[in-house]
């Protein structure tokens, strides 16, 4: 894959790291994030007060180095492939839809609980959902795409079941919305990806 094909993925990674670094400069406060993170995190009471943008900006905030590193690796690996096949515009639509879908799911399931949601994993799960859809739309790549998507999806959902501070609602919401968005979009470079895959297979 050509690096320049993953413009949106690279931009999202850069934005997450910029927010993380800037937030690290601020004193740690609400929910393990700093002042900047607190202004962007998904806090249901603030959303109800009119700060609707939090259902999207939460995806650029991360609570600790391990959190952002794991999400960055997943976003780079999955986003690179899905963005190339769908094209940047369609991929951006999938990512944003999954981000907001995950945010809304987290919002509706945490109202009144005092819970704070942060992280790009809802949007990333949407990318894996899109990868599953691609497996259906692009039969020659089905085995590789489905296998690459199912394992992380199952692991993330199981992880969320056993840890109380993980928002499985955001994961499931992002997964479903990302897959649905992918259903209505056409993979721009599917044929090229098939050619590249076949030429690299012994």
Asked if 38 is an active-site residue, the reply is no
Q: How confident is the model at residue 40 (pLDDT cuts 50, 70, 90)?
A: very high
Q: Which of 38, 72, 121, 148 is catalytic?
A: 121
Whether 186 is in a domain gets the answer yes
Whether 73 is in a domain gets the answer yes
Number of domains comprising the chain: 1
Quote the pLDDT of residue 18. Answer: 95
Q: Is 28 exposed, middle or buried (0-12, 13-18, 19+ CB in 10 A)?
A: middle
Quote the pLDDT of residue 193. Answer: 72
Answer with the residue of higher pLDDT: 68 or 167.
68
Q: What CATH number is given to the structural domain containing 87?
A: 1.20.1540.10
Each residue of 121-170: pLDDT tens digit?
999 999 999 999 999 988 888 888 999 999 999 999 988 787 777 888 99
| Sign of torsion over alpha carbons 92, 96, 101, 106 | positive
Q: How high does pLDDT run on average in the chain? A: 88
Whether 152 is in a domain gets the answer yes
Q: How far apart are CA 76 and CA 10, in angstroms?
A: 8
Question: Poorest-confidence range of 16-25, 111-120, 167-176, 188-197?
Answer: 188-197
Residue 55 has pLDDT above 60, yes or no: yes
Q: How far apart are CA 84 and CA 180, in angstroms?
A: 19
Asked if 121 is an active-site residue, the reply is yes
With a pLDDT cut of 90, the percent of the chain lying above it is 63
Whether 202 is in a domain gets the answer no
Q: What's the domain range around 177?
A: 3-197
Whether 14 is in a domain gets the answer yes
């Amino acid at each position: 894959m050509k690096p320049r094909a993953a413009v949106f993925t690279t931009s999202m990674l850069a934005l997450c790291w910029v927010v993380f670094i800037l937030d690290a400069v601020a004193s740690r406060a609400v929910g393990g994030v700093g002042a900047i993170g607190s202004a962007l995190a998904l806090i249901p009471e603030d959303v109800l007060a009119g700060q609707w943008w939090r259902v999207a900006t939460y995806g650029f905030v991360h609570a600790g180095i391990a959190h952002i590193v794991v999400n960055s690796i997943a976003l780079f690996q999955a986003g690179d492939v899905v963005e190339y096949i769908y094209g940047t515009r369609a991929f951006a639509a999938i990512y944003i839809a999954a981000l907001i879908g995950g945010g809304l799911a987290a919002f509706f399931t945490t109202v009144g609980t005092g819970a704070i949601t942060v992280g790009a994993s809802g949007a990333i799960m949407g990318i894996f959902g899109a990868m599953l859809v691609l497996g259906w739309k692009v039969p020659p790549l089905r085995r590789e795409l489905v296998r690459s998507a199912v394992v992380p999806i199952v692991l993330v959902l199981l992880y969320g079941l056993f840890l109380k501070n993980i928002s499985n609602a955001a994961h499931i919401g992002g997964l479903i919305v990302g897959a649905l968005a992918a259903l209505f979009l056409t993979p721009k470079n599917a044929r090229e990806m098939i050619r590249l895959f076949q030429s690299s297979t012994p």
